[in-house]
Every structure is written in C-alpha cells, then in structure tokens.
C-alpha cells in the first residue's frame, strides 16, 4: 500500500499507512502460494479398489488403509503418510518428510 501511494505521488510512511488502515478498519488479506499436490492427468496404472468402501475387518491384519496429509508449517510443507489397521483402527506405521517423492523409471523425482 505504501509503495503504491508513493508511486502516485503521495509522500507517506508505512507506519502512517498502517495507522490509517487500522483506524478505518482496513485489513490485509494475504493469500498463500498455490501448490499443486495431485496430478490427476497421468497415464500411470491405477490400482483396483479392493475395499470398495467396506472399511470393516473381522480380524487384525486383514485390511490396511493409508493416507497422506499435507501440513503447512513455518518452514514449508510437511508430508505425513499413515497406515492404519482397519480392525483395531490403530496406526501400523507412519512417515514424515519435507519432500514428496514418487518412484518412476527407477529414479526418485520430486512431484
């Protein structure tokens, strides 16, 4: 805001602009940089849906499910992968990384 006012010839400082904005109820709406996390337009093989939305299991280690979450932190994106046993609903394993990788053509490349 201060820079734009200076460009049009108004001589103001950032403190005055901030004070006037507060007094008039003007707030800045910051937007985060968009980061694509899913590439749906690909030619890779798609695994069959073996569970068919039936998330019940009669015994342990019969069905597992996994998911990946993307968490924004002050240091950047953090990726959390979790595997659950659908019988006990307990976490079987998990991994955290600051990079999201896929195996493709025997190379590790960031997505």
* DSSP string covering 17-75: HHHHHHHTT------PPP------S--S-----SSTT----SSTTS-EEEEEEEEEETT
- For the entire predicted model, the pTM comes to 0.50
Residue 102 lies in a domain: yes
Nearest to 65 by CA among 91, 47, 39: 91
Task: Give the integer Cα–Cα distance in Å for 59 and 70.
Answer: 31
Q: Is residue 95 part of a domain?
A: yes
pLDDT tens by residue, 5-18: 899 999 999 999 99
38, 92, 41: which is closest to 62 by C-alpha? 92
CB 79 within 8 A of CB 96: yes
Q: Answer yes or no: is 58 within a domain.
A: no
pLDDT digits (tens, 9 = 90+) for 30-72: 888 887 777 778 888 888 888 999 999 999 999 999 998 989 9
pLDDT of residue 29: 83
In a domain, 41, yes or no: no
Q: Given this model, what pLDDT does residue 106 score?
A: 42
Residue 53 belongs to some domain of the structure? no
Give the pLDDT confidence score for residue 92 in this predicted structure.
94
Give the Cα-Cα-Cα angle 5, 7, 11 (nearest 5 degrees).
55
| 45 within some domain | no
Query: Does 104 map to a domain?
Result: yes
Task: Say how many domains are in the chain.
Answer: 2
- Structural domain range at position 21: 1-33
Query: From the CA atom positions of the chain, what is the Rg in Å?
Result: 24
pLDDT over 50 at 104, yes or no: no
């Amino acid at each position: 805001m201060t820079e734009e006012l200076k460009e049009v010839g108004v001589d103001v400082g950032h403190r005055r602009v901030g004070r006037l904005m507060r007094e008039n109820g003007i707030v800045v709406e910051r937007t985060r940089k968009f980061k694509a996390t899913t590439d749906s337009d690909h030619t890779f093989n798609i695994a069959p849906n073996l569970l068919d939305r039936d998330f019940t299991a009669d015994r342990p280690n019969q069905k597992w499910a996994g998911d990946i979450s993307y968490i924004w932190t002050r240091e950047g994106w953090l990726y959390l992968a979790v595997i659950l046993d659908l019988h006990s609903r307990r976490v079987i394993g998990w991994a955290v990384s600051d990079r999201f990788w896929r195996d493709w053509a025997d190379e590790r490349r960031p997505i």
